[in-house]
Structure 1
Amino acid sequence: MAAIPIPGSEKNGVLEEKMDGIVSSSPALPAATYAALRKDESEGVPLNTPWTFWIDKATRGATAAEYEANMKRIYSVSTVQSFWSVYNHIPDVSELCLRYSYHLMRGDRRPMWEDEGNQNGGTWRLKVAKRDTSRVWKELLLAAIGEQFEGHLAEGDEVCGISVSVRERDDLLQIWNFDWSLTSSATVMKKVHSLVPDVVFTAEFYKPHQTHHAYEGEKSQLVSPALISS
């Protein structure tokens, strides 16, 4: 299966100038890749819910239109096999250029604070050394699609997304949940530490979307969750 070409994947940054606005069109898969994914989707082991891979690039001061143009859907998956097909054929996080982000969002949710499925939630935010980013990202993805966080959330809440953002020093990982008001009894971080017991996070905290100064609520402007790294 051919790799999915995602602009900005060269470690040396040669492509950065050429693709400064991230991706000019949605990442394209070769016909053979689509055929294999369709087979995986029809014959694979079903996930509890579909999940969608996204990519974007954070740009401080970007308008809503600029951000929406930069946010691209890669592929939606609903089986274990199709998840691995996409995961294994997009560039590793370590290959992405600075300020690019991957997201895996439940269903049709977009990786935006103000999306209808996200607006009442927030994220557990983890800063991690670059040497550990790829492994932590992978473990969080598997925990999400395997619904391993379910026993660590209050009734009525759910994990609705996982994000990783490439930064100059430590990278940023986020675990999105549906309802910030139900997090007081959550033990999500306990689960995270059990997944990667040898990883030391340089920062870890929870932040509701509505407490970000750039949150627009019901206004028309939408802001990337990756624009602010703290």
Structure 2
Amino acid sequence: MCIAKILLSLLFNPVKVWKSTKCKKKKKRINYQFLCCFESVIIEFAIVRIVISFQNHHFKRRSEVINARAVRARSLSRYRSAMASCAVQLIEKVTRKKVEKQKFETHILKGPYMKHPLQNRWGLWFYKNDKSKMWQDNLRLITKFDTAEDFWALYNNIQPPSKLSSGCDYSMFKDGIEPMWEDRSNKCGGRWLITLAKQHRHTELDHFWLETLLCLIGEGFGSFSRDICGSVINIRAKGDKIAIWTSNAENCETVTYIGKKYKESLGLPQKLVIGYQAHADTATKSNSITKNKFVV
């Protein structure tokens, strides 16, 4: 028990134990050699305690450093995670904007090149009177088109009828049909004819011609559009003419419907009468006047 107490006292207060022990030894006349050994033990215990205390302090400091580094590492990890998350969100946002831009460009910029097809393919012809040549040699095909965009590209890049010289014609016919009576699609047909005085050339002529073309390419006559062959505009010194050609002059219902619809499309007054002439009658006429087969 005494030894245990001494050891415990040495651990907590080695100097006091050393002094107390020294006094007791003097009183009990402990020999000098034992005292020296005991003092050595006390000193060793003291040194051990100092070393242990220093190590504990060192380990405590080291633990604090390790903890600080761990905290800093965790903070840095959180910061990096937050930055990575922000970067991912930014990349997703940029990617989404790029995709939306591509969709916009596809829809808006590429949209105009997605042409709108017409029900029929059409050919535009030009005739310029040259008395030194045969009639057929004066007629030539300019181009063919089958989309609305190609029609407008053509119409906007040719001279309007009002700018043509006298003796010139424009003709627009379905593909495979030539603008002449002798063509097999025309020889049994006829034409609805509108005559304009010379003074109306710069006010009404271009408008009437454009409306006529739109009626044709837009299939403006409904199911009766299958009987349409084409249209011709004649520029003449005495007066200008616009005509719609059909394939069958004997089909009264079809011809009459086309005439009424055409008159309505041009916005002509009801009192104004237009006539339909068969090509056969025009080819065999004995004078400059051809009788009308139908009128509306």
CA shift in 2, pair 1:88/1:147, >3 Å: same
What does residue 184 of structure 2 align with? Answer: 116
Q: Name the residue aligned to 2:151.
A: 83
1:173 is the counterpart of 2:245: no
Give matches, 1:7-156, under 5 Å: 43-58=114-129, 66-128=134-196, 129-130=200-201, 131-151=203-223, 153=224
**CA pair 85-214 structure 1, distance change in 2 beyond 3 A:** farther
* Displacement of 1:112: 0.4
How does the TM-score come out when normalised to structure 2?
Answer: 0.52
What is the alpha-carbon distance in structure 2 between the residues aligned to residue 112 and residue 106 of structure 1? 13
2:274 maps to: 204
Q: In structure 2, what is the equivalent of residue 183 of structure 1?
A: 252
Greater Cα offset, 49-58 or 89-98? 49-58
Q: Deviations over 1:63-116 (max 9, x none)?
A: 9x7111100100000111111111110101011000100000011211000112
Whether the 8 Å contact between 1:150 and 1:158 is mirrored in structure 2 is no
SS at match of 2:260: helix
Relative to structure 1, the CA distance from residue 168 to residue 199 in structure 2 (aligned partners, 3 Å threshold; closer, same or farther) is farther
Give identity over the alignment, percent: 25
Secondary structure class of the residue paired with 1:116: coil
Separation (CA, whole Å) in 1 of partners of 2:238 and 2:170: 17
Q: Supply the AA of the counterpart residue of 2:274.
A: E
Using the alignment, how far apart are the partners of 2:191 and 2:267 within structure 1? 21
More strand per residue: 1 or 2?
1
**Residue type of the alignment partner of 2:282:** H
* Structure richer in helix, relative to its length: 2
Task: Classify 1:166/1:145 alpha carbon distance in 2 versus 1 (closer, same or farther; 3 Å).
Answer: same
Q: TM-score, normalised by structure 1?
A: 0.66
Higher relative contact order by CA 8 Å / sep ≥ 6: 1 or 2?
1
Q: Which amino acid aligns with 1:175?
A: I
Quote the Cα distance in structure 2 between the aligned partners of 1:180 and 1:72: 26
- The 8 Å contact of residues 127 and 202 in structure 1, kept in 2 or not, is answered as no
Unaligned runs of 5+ in 2: 1-112, 291-296
Give the SS at the match of 1:139: helix
Q: 1:198 & 1:181 partners in 2: Cα distance?
A: 25
Partner-residue secondary structure (3-state), 2:181 = coil
Contact 1:126 1:201 in 2 (8 A): no
Distance of 1:229 and 1:194 partners within structure 2: 25
Q: Deviation above 3 Å: which 4+ runs of structure 1? A: 198-203
Structure 1: 5+ residue runs without aligned partners? 1-41, 216-227
Change (3 A) 1:201 1:49: farther
Partner Cα separation in structure 2 for residue 175 and residue 67 of structure 1: 21
Aligned residue pairs: how many? 171
